[in-house]
Amino acid sequence: MFRKLFSLSVIFYFLVGGISECFAAKIGIAMPNTVVPRWQTDGATLKEELEATENEVILVFADNKKETQIAQIEDMIKQKCDALLVVPVDGRSLTEVLEKAKQAGIKIISYDRLIMNSDAVSYYASFDNFKVGLLQGEFIEDKLNLKEDGAPKNIEFFTGSIDDNNVNFLWAGDMEILKPYLVSGRLECKSNQTSKEDAAVHRWLAENAKDRMTKLVQAHNYGPKPDQTRLDAVLCPNDTVANAVIEVLIKLCGYDASNMPVITGQDCSKVGAKNIRNGLQSMCVFKDSRILAIHVVDMVNEMLSGEEVDVNDTTSYDNGTGVIPAYLCDPKVVNKENIKEILIDTGYYTEKDLK
């Protein structure tokens, strides 16, 4: 709502002879990489929405290098940005550079990943990552019939990068559902790698996930044949990791769409959505960047105009310097049955995108 009012106020100001600089702001967007498709999508959506409210936007990507991101933020400080939206490469590496931004009077919103150890962060905007984990865990619980079937099922675990604070919430949600089944023996992990640290994929990179899955397959002879070890599920934190795991399971184990283990995901990237349609990935937790981007634009405009900023969580996200007020959007489960309704019919993708 504020975004619409802000746009109308700009138009009115033009009509009465004002100058745009009185309303326009310069906003810097610092994304971590272009490897994960979501960051390209989110960056483009944020830029479009911010420009629609007469803001000048600088959008940069850091190639997954914290040094690059620090240099990019320093450059945006020099360019006199009014506000920064930052998805950190490393959530604990930005304390010094953000202090410079704070001293320059720049407002900062931590986007999707919480920036740690910095009192320069004004707000946090993301999805409910604990709920993401719950949805992934509940999907595995349901598909393996863990509540009813007492026969042990085999599972391996992957999660995101340890330096991403979201992983703490994601893993907690996953384990809220799945840990009781590990304790009871209804779920078995042949590798015994059931800790967050064991399951972590550094920087969420596909090559790191592929390397670990290859080692797991070689160590435990996973596969669909009678002389192989049955694998019932692989908990994957996002679509990039899921696709890497799927590639290994197809190439090294002989799995296909008819016998693929339950594979979870997150983000609904094009690759992930195609894998779901092709029966290779079981589900994805959809985080609609359009909804988050629109609200973040409202937050930016409210913050810079001195209005009260709309948040819905003021207790959960302590970054080491205090609790950061947050706005969390709700994620949704996408599977083969509802993918058209959620991703195609809403215009997020076209049919052509997923062919």
**Mean pLDDT value across residues 271-285:** 98
Secondary structure (DSSP) of 167-224: HHHHHHHHHHHHHHHHHHTSEE-TT---SHHHHB-GGG-HHHHHHHHHHHHHHHTB-S
**Mean pLDDT value across residues 61-83:** 98
- What's the rounded Cα separation, in Å, for the pair 146 and 130? 21
Spans of all domains in the chain = 2-128+288-330, 129-286
Whole-number pLDDT of residue 291: 94
> From 1.10.10.10, 1.20.1250.20, 3.50.50.60, 3.40.50.2300, which CATH number describes the 2-128+288-330 domain?
3.40.50.2300
CB contact at 8 A, 261 and 298: no
CB contact at 8 A, 317 and 311: no
Whole-number pLDDT of residue 24: 79
Question: Average model confidence (pLDDT) for the chain?
Answer: 94
Q: Is the pLDDT of residue 8 over 70?
A: no
Quick one: pLDDT band at residue 11, thresholds 50, 70, 90? very low
Q: What is the pLDDT of residues 293-345, one digit of tens each?
A: 999 999 999 999 999 999 999 999 999 999 999 999 999 999 999 999 999 99
**Mean pLDDT value across residues 1-25:** 49
Q: Is the pLDDT of residue 122 over 80?
A: yes
Quick one: pLDDT band at residue 3, thresholds 50, 70, 90? low
Continuous segment of H or E residues that includes residue 327: strand 326-329
Q: Is the pLDDT of residue 7 over 70?
A: no
Class of domain 129-286: alpha beta
Whole-number pLDDT of residue 311: 98
For the chain, the first-to-last Cα distance in angstroms comes to 36
| Between residues 18 and 217, the one the model is more confident about | 217
Q: Is the pLDDT of residue 10 over 50?
A: no
**Mean pLDDT value across residues 225-231:** 98
Q: Is the pLDDT of residue 225 over 60?
A: yes
- Identical topology for domains 2-128+288-330 and 129-286: yes
Percent of the chain residues past pLDDT 70, beyond the cut? 94
Whole-number pLDDT of residue 20: 40
Quick one: pLDDT band at residue 150, thresholds 50, 70, 90? confident
CB contact at 8 A, 246 and 263: yes
Q: What is the pLDDT of residues 101-117, one digit of tens each?
A: 999 999 999 999 999 99
